[in-house]
C-alpha cells in the first residue's frame, strides 16, 4: 500500500445511502481517517422510496441507533413534517415512532452533519474494484483508474449492484431512478466468490399535489405532541402537515386485471423475489380478489414541493396504465403524474457470508451493510451501517468486534437473523421477531445502549451526562414510589405495588411525590418507570431464558472448526455449519434445522479439541 495509491485512509465507505452515512460517521467519530465514496455527492442520504422514517419495529431500530450514537434519529427530528407514535392502543413495548420526512431537507441536513465531522471526507467517484492482498482488503480502485488505500472497507451499495428498473415493457439499467447502476463493482464482488442472489422491490408513482382534491380524502393528522426519535432532541420545531387516506375501488382493480400482462411482475420479465409485506398493487389485486378496496396514503414529500408520494400503490405498470389506476381513485380523478412508479431488481450478497461483526468471511477487513445484505428499509440499513462502521474501526485498531445480543437490541436480532439464517426475500424488522419483546422498548433504548455508545466514543460527553442525570431522576422516582403509601380496597400498600394492578396509572400518585421530584419529572420518564413496574413479573419470567441465551453466546466456536469430522451429525447439518461457521454455540443453536442432540455433540468435540490442545501444550 502507499506507493501506487492516490490517497490512503483507515476506512473507506462505499455508498452514501442510509447505511453508508452511519458507517462513515461512526468510524470518523471513533477517530479513524474515513472517506465516504459516492457516485453523486448531491444525493447523500437520499430517500429513494417513501418519504418516512420509523414505523412499528423500525422506530425501535432508530431509537436504538440513536441511543448508541447514530445520526438518523437527530436528522429526522430536524426535518420531519409529521410525527406519529404508532400502536398507542397496545402496550408500551410495541409503541413505535414514525415521521414523514421532508426528503430534500433530510438529505441536506445529513450532508451538513457529515461535513461537520473532522475526520470524514466526502468523495464523489465510482468505485469499480475492491483491492486485496492475501485475502485482506488493501483499498479500492476508482473508475478513472486511481487507487485508494484502505485498511478496512465498508460496502453499502443499496440497489445499485446490477440494478435494473422495470416500467411496463421497458427496462433500463439504473441504481435508483435517474442514476447509473454499479456494474463493474458487482462483477468485482462476484469475482471474490461470494454467494449472491437477486431481489426485487418497487415504488409507487408520485403525483402533483396541485392536481389532487384532498377534500375527497380522509385527513390524517400527526400527533399533537410529537414524539422525537432522538433522546437528545428536546423539541420538534418545524411546521407539521397532514397526510391523507384515499381508497382504491372496483374500477382501479379492473384496470389492473385488464393490464396484468403488461406488468413485468406478471409477464414473467421479473423473476426475483419481492417482499411479501410490501406487495405491489398488482399483487394486492391478484392475491386478495375479495377485497373491495385498499388504503392509499397520500404523503407529502416535503414542505418546499407539491410532490405527493402515493403510499400503497407500488406498481411497475406502463405509465399510461398507472395514470388510469390513479385517476380511478376518488380525489385523484384529475391527478397528474410527476414520476411513474417502478420495480427494481438488484443483486445482493448472501448475508451468511458475514460474521456477526458484518465482516465478510472471505475477505478480511471488508464489511457489508444495508440492502446488499438482503434487507429493505432505511432504518434496517442505517443500523447495519452503524455496526459495520464501529466494527471496521475496531478491526483497524485490532480490537474485538462489538456484537449486540438478541436480548439487548432489535439491531442484534436483525444482524443475528441475517448472518445465521440468511434471507430469500428483502428482510424487514417486525416486533414479532423479538423473543424478548417486552425488554426491547423505545423508552429504555438508552438504558440498553447508551453506556456502550459512550464507551465506544460515539456518544458525546454532554449527552452522556444528560443520560446519567435522567437515570438518577428515574431512580429517585422508583424509590419514592416504593415509599409512598396509597389506599386501595384491601388497605394501604406502596404506590409501587398498586401500580402493578391494571387499574392504577402513575399520574394518580404524582401529587403524593416529594415536591422537588414532582417538578423534575417528565412524562416519558414517568411512563418508562411505570412500564417497568407493570411488566416486572413478565420481565422476570424471561430472565432465566435470557441468562441461558447469554451463556450460550459466551461459548465461542473456533472459526476453523472441522464439522465434517463429527460422525454423529447429519450431512445437512454439517453442510450448514460449515457454510455459516457460527462464532458461538448460541448462534449455532439458531441455525434452522439444528437439534439439541447435534449441539451436544458439538459441545463434546469442542471439549475434546480443547483438551488435546491442552495436552500438547
Partner 1 sequence: MPTLIDDTIAAIATPMGRSGIGVIRLSGEDARRIAATVCGCGSNSLRDRATSLRRVRHPRTREVLDQAMVTYFRAPRSYTAEDVVELGCHGSPVVLESVMAVLLECGARLATPGEFTLRAFLRGRIDLVQAEAIRDLIEAKTLFQARVARQQAEGSLSRRLKPIKELLVRLISLLEAGIDFADDDVPVLAEEAIQEQLEPLVAGLQQLKAGFGRGRLLSAGLTVAVVGRTNVGKSTLFNTLVNQERAIVNESPGTTRDVVAEEAQLGGIPVRWLDTAGIRSSMDPVERIGIDKTREVLADADRLLLVLDGSVDLADEDRRLLEELKQQACCLVINKIDLPQRLPGEGIGPVEAPVVRVSALTGEGVETLKQVLLEDLGQGKVTQQEGALVTNFRQQERIGAALKALKRAVGAVEQGLPHEVILLDLHGALSSLNELTGETGIEDILGRIFQTFCVGK
Contact footprint for partner 1 (CB under 8 A) = 50, 55-57, 86-87, 89-94, 98, 275-279, 284, 287-288, 291, 294-295, 297, 311-312, 314, 430-433, 435, 437-438, 502, 535, 538, 541-542, 548, 551-552, 555, 566-570, 585-586, 589-590, 592, 594-601, 603-605, 607-608, 611-612, 615
Residue placing its CB nearer to partner 1 in the complex, 461 or 544: 544
Scanning 200-280, the segments in alpha helix (DSSP H) are: 250-258, 264-267
Measured in Å, how far apart are the chain's first and last C-alpha atoms? Answer: 37
- Smallest separation (angstroms) from partner 1 to the CB of 204: 8
Q: H or E stretch including 230?
A: none
Cell of 555: 461459548
Residue placing its CB nearer to partner 1 in the complex, 181 or 351: 351
Task: Return d(Cα 433, Cα 426) in angstroms, integer.
Answer: 15
- Which of these, 372, 359, 353, 326, lies nearest to 157 by C-alpha position? 372
- Smallest separation (angstroms) from partner 1 to the CB of 366: 29
Cell of 550: 447469554
- Smallest separation (angstroms) from partner 1 to the CB of 62: 16
Residue placing its CB nearer to partner 1 in the complex, 94 or 154: 94
DSSP for residue 118? T
| Phi, psi (degrees; rounded to nearest 5) at 484 | -65, 125
- Smallest separation (angstroms) from partner 1 to the CB of 71: 25
Residue placing its CB nearer to partner 1 in the complex, 195 or 568: 568
Task: Return d(Cα 47, Cα 382) in angstroms, integer.
Answer: 12
- Smallest separation (angstroms) from partner 1 to the CB of 168: 21
- Residue 303, Cβ neighbours under 10 Å: how many? 14
DSSP for residue 465? H
- Which of these, 108, 88, 113, 112, lies nearest to 98 by C-alpha position? 88
- Smallest separation (angstroms) from partner 1 to the CB of 389: 28
Angle formed by the axes of helices 250-258 and 319-327, nearest 10°: 160
- Smallest separation (angstroms) from partner 1 to the CB of 279: 5
Cell of 232: 437528545
Residue placing its CB nearer to partner 1 in the complex, 124 or 600: 600
- Smallest separation (angstroms) from partner 1 to the CB of 360: 25
Residue placing its CB nearer to partner 1 in the complex, 160 or 427: 427
Task: Return d(Cα 483, Cα 472) in angstroms, integer.
Answer: 17
DSSP for residue 323? H
DSSP for residue 401? P
Residue placing its CB nearer to partner 1 in the complex, 20 or 422: 422
Residue placing its CB nearer to partner 1 in the complex, 381 or 573: 573
Amino acid at each position: 500500500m502507499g506507493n501506487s495509491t492516490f490517497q490512503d485512509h483507515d476506512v473507506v465507505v462505499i455508498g452514501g445511502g442510509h447505511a453508508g452515512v452511519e458507517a462513515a460517521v461512526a468510524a470518523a467519530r471513533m477517530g479513524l481517517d474515513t472517506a465516504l465514496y459516492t457516485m453523486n455527492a448531491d444525493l447523500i442520504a437520499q430517500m429513494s422510496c417513501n418519504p418516512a422514517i420509523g414505523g412499528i419495529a423500525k422506530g425501535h431500530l432508530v431509537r436504538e441507533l440513536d441511543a448508541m450514537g447514530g445520526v438518523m434519529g437527530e436528522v429526522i427530528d430536524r426535518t420531519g413534517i409529521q410525527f406519529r407514535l404508532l400502536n398507542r392502543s397496545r402496550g408500551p413495548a410495541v409503541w413505535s415512532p414514525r415521521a414523514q420526512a421532508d426528503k430534500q431537507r433530510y438529505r441536506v441536513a445529513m450532508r451538513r452533519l457529515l461535513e461537520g465531522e473532522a475526520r470524514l471526507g466526502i468523495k464523489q467517484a465510482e468505485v469499480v474494484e475492491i483491492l486485496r492482498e492475501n485475502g485482506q482488503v488493501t483499498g479500492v480502485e476508482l473508475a478513472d483508474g486511481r487507487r485508494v488505500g484502505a485498511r478496512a472497507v465498508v460496502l453499502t451499495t443499496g440497489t445499485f449492484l446490477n440494478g435494473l428498473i422495470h416500467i411496463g415493457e421497458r427496462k433500463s439499467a439504473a441504481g435508483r431512478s435517474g442514476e447509473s447502476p454499479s456494474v463493474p463493482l458487482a462483477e468485482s464482488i462476484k469475482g471474490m466468490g461470494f454467494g449472491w442472489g437477486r431481489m426485487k422491490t418497487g415504488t409507487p408513482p408520485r403525483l402533483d399535489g396541485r392536481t389532487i382534491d384532498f377534500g375527497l380524502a380522509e385527513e390524517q393528522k400527526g400527533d399533537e405532541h410529537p414524539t422525537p426519535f432522538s433522546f437528545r432532541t428536546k423539541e420538534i420545531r418545524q411546521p407539521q402537515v397532514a397526510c391523507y387516506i384515499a381508497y382504491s375501488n372496483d374500477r382501479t382493480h379492473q384496470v389492473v386485471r385488464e393490464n396484468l400482462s403488461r406488468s413485468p411482475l406478471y409477464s414473467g420479465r421479473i423473476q426475483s423475489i419481492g417482499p411479501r409485506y410490501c406487495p405491489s398493487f398488482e399483487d394486492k389485486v391478484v392475491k386478495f380478489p375479495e377485497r373491495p378496496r385498499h388504503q392509499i396514503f397520500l404523503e407529502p414529500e416535503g414542505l418546499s414541493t407539491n410532490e405527493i408520494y402515493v403510499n400503497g400503490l407500488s406498481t411497475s405498470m406502463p405509465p399510461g396504465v398507472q395514470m388510469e389506476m390513479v385517476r380511478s381513485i376518488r380525489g385523484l380523478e384529475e391527478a397528474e403524474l410527476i414520476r411513474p412508479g417502478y420495480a427494481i431488481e438488484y443483486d445482493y450478497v448472501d448475508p451468511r457470508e458475514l460474521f456477526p461483526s458484518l465482516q465478510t468471511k472471505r475477505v478480511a477487513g471488508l464489511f457489508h451493510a444495508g440492502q446488499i445484505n438482503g434487507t429493505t428499509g432505511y432504518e434496517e440499513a442505517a443500523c447495519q451501517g452503524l455496526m459495520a462502521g464501529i466494527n471496521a474501526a475496531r478491526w483497524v485498531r485490532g480490537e474485538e468486534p462489538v456484537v449486540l445480543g438478541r436480548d439487548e437490541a432489535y439491531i442484534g436480532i436483525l444482524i443475528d437473523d441475517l448472518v445465521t439464517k440468511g434471507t430469500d426475500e428483502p428482510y424487514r424488522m417486525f416486533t414479532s421477531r423479538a423473543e424478548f419483546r417486552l425488554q426491547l422498548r423505545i423508552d429504555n433504548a438508552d438504558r440498553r445502549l447508551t453506556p456502550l455508545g459512550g464507551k465506544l466514543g460515539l456518544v458525546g460527553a454532554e449527552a452522556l451526562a444528560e443520560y446519567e442525570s435522567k437515570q438518577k431522576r428515574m431512580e429517585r422516582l422508583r424509590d419514592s414510589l416504593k415509599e409512598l403509601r396509597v389506599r386501595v380496597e384491601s388497605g394501604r400498600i406502596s404506590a409501587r405495588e398498586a401500580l402493578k394492578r391494571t387499574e392504577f396509572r402513575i399520574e394518580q400518585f404524582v401529587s403524593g411525590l416529594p415536591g422537588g421530584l414532582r417538578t423534575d419529572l417528565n412524562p416519558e420518564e414517568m411512563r418508562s418507570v411505570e412500564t417497568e413496574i407493570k411488566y416486572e413479573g413478565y420481565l422476570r419470567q424471561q430472565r432465566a431464558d435470557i441468562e441461558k441465551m447469554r451463556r450460550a453466546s459466551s461459548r465461542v466456536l473456533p472459526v476453523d472448526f472441522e464439522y465434517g469430522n463429527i460422525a454423529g451429525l447429519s450431512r445437512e447439518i454439517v453442510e450448514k455449519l460449515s457454510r455459516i461457521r457460527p462464532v458461538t454455540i448460541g448462534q449455532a443453536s439458531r441455525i434452522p434445522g439444528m437439534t439439541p442432540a447435534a449441539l451436544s455433540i458439538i459441545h463434546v468435540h469442542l471439549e475434546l479439541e480443547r483438551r488435546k490442545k491442552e495436552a500438547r501444550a
